[in-house]
């Protein structure tokens, strides 16, 4: 029998079809739903990023701590008759490190046996995939990634609301979303705790975060003096800008000053890390009545213990 011959019967209602193999559970991993001629399927993907690394005051560490606390409180959710789900929204300027933070979180969760599902911009496709998973594995921990949620909302506002806390919602899940443009999101997302319960602001990397990044990339190719100079010269740079600067310096032998000046022209406007560091967190319930959250309001919440 040829190796590529399908050898197992797959049963769907009264219909039988041949398949390559069968599994009671999906392997831990990162999956993306797709339409096929047989309906919804899950395609296993690999995480792609340049040498993921943890930076000081990393939002990924805060998210993992928050998720760990959530997963450990399932009994309390059940005792209170509550849906066992959580929503976390990361926002900040492009290139600040939101995607990197999510990938660090996903790697850790996958190592612990979770399924990470990439939320397609076709929310009905995502809904079909989640329903299929829950039918096969009702108790499996799920994390659903909704990158650039502002774009998803443009086409699937009502469908997304239904999935997050409406008639289509599922149990035992964390929704992890990102946006570069928090001010464009409707209040039904940013001020609705049943949809997104915690907001993290991911700001531009501070001096120590930029130093860690540059040390990782140069890895012996530059002296401490060069790295010190690069850290001082890149205040307000995002990780995306730092990456391009290191490419110019290490690959194209561009001097530091020239690379910094060239990349500096790509900055939309001067950005600087705040004294609080590159991340801020607020419980949605704390700010639910405000039209927007000011720095003073964040500091007041911090004094009351609202920040981690």
185-226 tens-digit pLDDT: 999 999 988 899 999 998 888 898 899 889 888 887 767 888
Report the pLDDT value the prediction gives residue 4, as an integer from 0 to 100: 55
pLDDT tier, 306 (very low <50, low <70, confident <90, very high otherwise): very low
Of 2-6, 127-131, 208-212, where does mean pLDDT reach its minimum? 2-6
- The pLDDT value recorded for residue 307 is 38
Extended strands (E) in the chain: 8-12, 15-19, 29-36, 39-45, 85-91, 115-118, 142-146, 173-179, 198-202, 279-283
pLDDT of amino acid 47: 66
Mean pLDDT for the stretch of residues 54-72: 81
Q: What burial class does residue 125 get, using C-beta atoms within 10 Å of its C-beta: 0-12 exposed, 13-18 middle, 19+ buried?
A: middle
- CATH 3.40.50.300, domain 59-203+274-303, yes or no: yes
The number of residues making up the chain comes to 308
pLDDT grade, residue 283 (50/70/90)? Answer: low
CA 206, CA 273: separation in Å to the nearest integer? 5
Q: What 3-state class would DSSP assign to 55?
A: coil
b/e 207-226 (16+ beta carbons within 10 angstroms → b)? eebbbbbbbebbeeebeeee
The answer to whether the predicted template modeling score (pTM) of the entire model surpasses 0.75 is yes
**How many degrees, rounded to 5, is the angle at CA 98 between CA 149 and CA 141?**
70
**In the chain, where the domains are located:** 59-203+274-303, 207-264
Helix axes 256-264 and 224-233, enclosed angle (nearest 10): 20
Averaged confidence pLDDT in the chain: 82
The pLDDT of residue 167 is: 85
Do residues 98 and 92 lie in contact, with contact meaning Cβ atoms separated by under 8 Å?
A: yes
């Amino acid at each position: 029998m040829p190796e590529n011959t399908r050898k197992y019967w797959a049963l769907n209602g009264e219909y039988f079809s041949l398949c390559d193999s069968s599994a009671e559970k999906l392997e831990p991993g990162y999956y993306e739903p797709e339409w096929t001629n047989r309906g919804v399927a899950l395609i296993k993907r690999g995480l792609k990023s340049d040498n993921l690394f943890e930076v000081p005051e990393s939002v990924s560490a805060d998210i993992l701590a928050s998720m760990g606390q959530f997963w450990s409180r399932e009994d309390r959710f059940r005792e209170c008759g509550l849906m066992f789900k959580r929503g976390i929204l990361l926002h900040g300027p492009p290139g600040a490190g939101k995607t990197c933070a999510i990938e660090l979180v996903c790697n850790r969760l996958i190592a612990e046996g979770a399924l990470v599902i990439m939320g397609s911009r076709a929310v009905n496709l995502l809904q079909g995939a989640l329903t299929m998973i829950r039918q096969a594995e009702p108790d499996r921990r799920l994390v659903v990634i909704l990158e650039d949620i502002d774009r998803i909302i443009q086409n699937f506002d009502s469908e997304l609301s239904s999935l997050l806390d409406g008639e289509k919602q599922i149990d035992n899940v964390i929704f992890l979303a990102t946006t570069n443009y928090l001010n464009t999101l409707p209040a039904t997302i940013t001020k609705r705790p049943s949809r997104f319960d915690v907001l993290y602001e991911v700001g531009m990397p501070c001096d120590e975060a930029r130093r860690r990044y540059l040390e990782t990339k140069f890895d012996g190719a530059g002296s401490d003096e060069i790295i010190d100079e690069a850290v001082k010269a890149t205040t307000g740079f995002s990780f995306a800008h730092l990456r391009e600067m290191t490419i110019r310096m290490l690959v194209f032998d561009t001097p530091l000053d020239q690379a910094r000046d060239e990349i500096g022209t790509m900055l939309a406007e001067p950005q600087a890390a705040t004294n609080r560091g590159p991340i801020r967190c607020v419980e949605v319930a704390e700010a639910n009545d405000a039209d927007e959250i000011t720095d003073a309001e964040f500091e007041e919440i911090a004094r009351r213990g609202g920040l981690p």
